């Protein structure tokens, strides 16, 4: 720790030198730069500094946690997240296959083939994540880790499928790192996480142990590469995979020992939630969708009992390739102290699994959006429990509640301006003493 009166390099963005201990900002800077201080010490120092600012204590609510977490992770009293990357993993799920001739459970309102169509939209810059990444200055990359309808030899950027060329007006600016880069790609080593997608977990294990290890490794490798390529300050993870809300429900039920599957189920991407501003308000249809999901999860739990507290086993039994890849990516972020802005239900489920593997992952997490899927709250509570049990400041509840159910990291992309605002608050807001001394 810097001694009282010793000169240190200023971290307040104003240049020059200042005396440690002379101002709240210099005290914060000294604490953040001290290599002997752990995350908790740095976080507490940042929270103490927030209380010195010209505002009622705690008046900026959850934004104060976000600002403090960023200071502690980035080790700076002037944190910034100018370079944010969004890494989306995509894969197909066996339970989403056709029950008649595809060996699946028809768990989704949409056919499994929609997964590939979404990726085509992402490559052409016209999907939801493409639009919101551009709007918020976020670099976008999508990795196919197991689509049923593609193979490593296919090229996403050719603009055609089944021999028919598509005539689509491309946006003038696509969020890529270099001109000509393909947004959608296969893993860097050329091998898919799970070739052809996962199996129907009501009939067999969704993946093998090797599949799980490969997806975790791909997640770590692709995350590391993207962070290095973009010199990223923050990572957003997203997912594309028809059926993955059912998969997430099965993972939470398996890992947390939830016996009532209905308590985890919503309507997924179907246009039904709770009757407020819905596309369709039909309680019977809503009940039918939830009942079907719950019955699939119940069947899966009978097929795969005794997975409580076994994250790798649960991924093998009822997981998804994209979910396992996100878990690997979060583990990589933990090794590098890179903050993670967490999207909705599926990514929250991934965060829960990553936290079970490495409890220190909890220190990275800033939750962007409350999902319409009720199971997200179960996962959030488990993450907060893991953090508290390991003496990590528990992450606060999601910042936004906009009834989103689109996936593709859209909720987290929408929250990027909030996180940049948190950085501005800690960097630019005057302390109370500075305001009181004005003449």
| Type and span of the H or E element at 125 | none
Compute the CA torsion angle 48, 50, 51, 52 (nearest 10 deg): 100
Query: For 50-93, what is each residue's pLDDT tens digit?
Result: 999 999 999 999 999 999 999 999 999 999 999 999 999 999 99
Q: pLDDT: is 144 or 268 the higher one?
A: 144
* CB distance 384 to 351 below 8 Å: no
Query: For 15-50, what is each residue's pLDDT tens digit?
Result: 333 444 478 999 999 999 999 999 999 999 999 999
For residue 161, what pLDDT band results from cuts at 50, 70 and 90? very low
Provide CB contacts within 8 A for 385, sequence distance 6+: none
* pLDDT beyond 90 at 233: yes
The residues annotated as belonging to the active site are 408
* pLDDT beyond 70 at 326: yes
Q: Looking at residue 345, what is its pLDDT?
A: 96
Q: Looking at residue 269, what is its pLDDT?
A: 52
What distance in Å separates the CA atoms of residue 119 and residue 124, rounded to the nearest whole number? Answer: 9
What pTM value is reported for the model?
Answer: 0.87
Angle at 108 between CA 283 and CA 298, to 5 degrees: 80
Q: Looking at residue 109, what is its pLDDT?
A: 67
Select from 348, 347, 344 the least CA-distant residue to 386.
348
Bridge partner residues of 8 (DSSP): 18
Select from 282, 387, 411 the least CA-distant residue to 334.
387
């Amino acid at each position: 720790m810097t001694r009282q009166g010793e000169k240190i390099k200023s971290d307040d963005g104003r240049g020059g030198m200042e005396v440690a201990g002379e101002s709240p900002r210099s005290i914060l800077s000294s604490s953040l730069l001290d290599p002997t201080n752990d995350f908790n010490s740095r976080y507490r120092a940042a929270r103490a500094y927030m209380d010195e600012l010209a505002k009622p204590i705690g008046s900026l609510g959850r934004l104060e946690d976000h600002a403090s977490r960023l200071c502690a992770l980035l080790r700076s009293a002037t944190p910034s997240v100018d370079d944010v990357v969004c890494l989306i993993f995509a894969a197909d799920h066996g339970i989403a296959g056709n029950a008649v001739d595809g060996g699946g459970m028809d768990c989704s309102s949409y056919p499994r083939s929609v997964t590939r169509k979404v990726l085509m939209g992402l490559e052409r810059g016209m999907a939801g994540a493409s639009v919101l990444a551009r709007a918020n200055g976020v670099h976008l990359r999508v990795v196919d880790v197991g689509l049923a309808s593609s193979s490593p030899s296919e090229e996403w950027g050719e603009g055609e499928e089944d021999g028919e060329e598509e005539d689509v007006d491309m946006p003038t600016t696509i969020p890529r790192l270099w001109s000509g880069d393909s947004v959608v790609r296969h893993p860097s080593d050329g091998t898919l996480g799970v070739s052809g997608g996962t199996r129907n977990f009501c009939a067999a294990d969704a993946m093998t142990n090797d599949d799980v290890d490969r997806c975790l490794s791909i997640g770590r490798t692709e995350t590391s590469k993207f962070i290095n390529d973009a010199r990223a300050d923050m990572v957003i993870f997203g997912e594309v995979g028809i059926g993955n809300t059912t998969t997430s429900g099965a993972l939470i039920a398996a890992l947390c020992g939830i016996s009532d599957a209905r308590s985890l189920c919503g309507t997924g991407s179907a246009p039904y939630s709770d009757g407020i501003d819905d596309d369709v308000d039909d309680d019977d249809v809503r009940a039918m969708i939830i009942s079907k999901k719950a019955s699939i999860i119940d069947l899966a739990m009978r097929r795969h009992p005794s997975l409580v507290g076994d994250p790798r086993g649960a991924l093998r039994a009822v997981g998804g390739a994209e979910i396992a890849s996100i878990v690997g990516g979060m583990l990589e972020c933990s090794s590098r102290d890179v903050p993670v802005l967490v999207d909705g239900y599926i990514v929250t489920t991934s965060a829960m699994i990553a936290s079970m593997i490495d409890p220190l992952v909890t220190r990275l997490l800033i939750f962007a959006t409350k999902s319409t899927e009720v199971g997200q709250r179960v996962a959030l509570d488990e993450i907060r429990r893991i953090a508290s049990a390991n003496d990590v400041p528990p992450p606060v509840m999601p910042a936004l509640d906009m009834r989103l159910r689109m996936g593709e990291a859209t909720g987290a992309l929408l929250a990027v301006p909030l996180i940049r605002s948190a950085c501005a608050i800690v960097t630019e807001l005057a302390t109370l003493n500075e305001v009181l001394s004005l003449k």
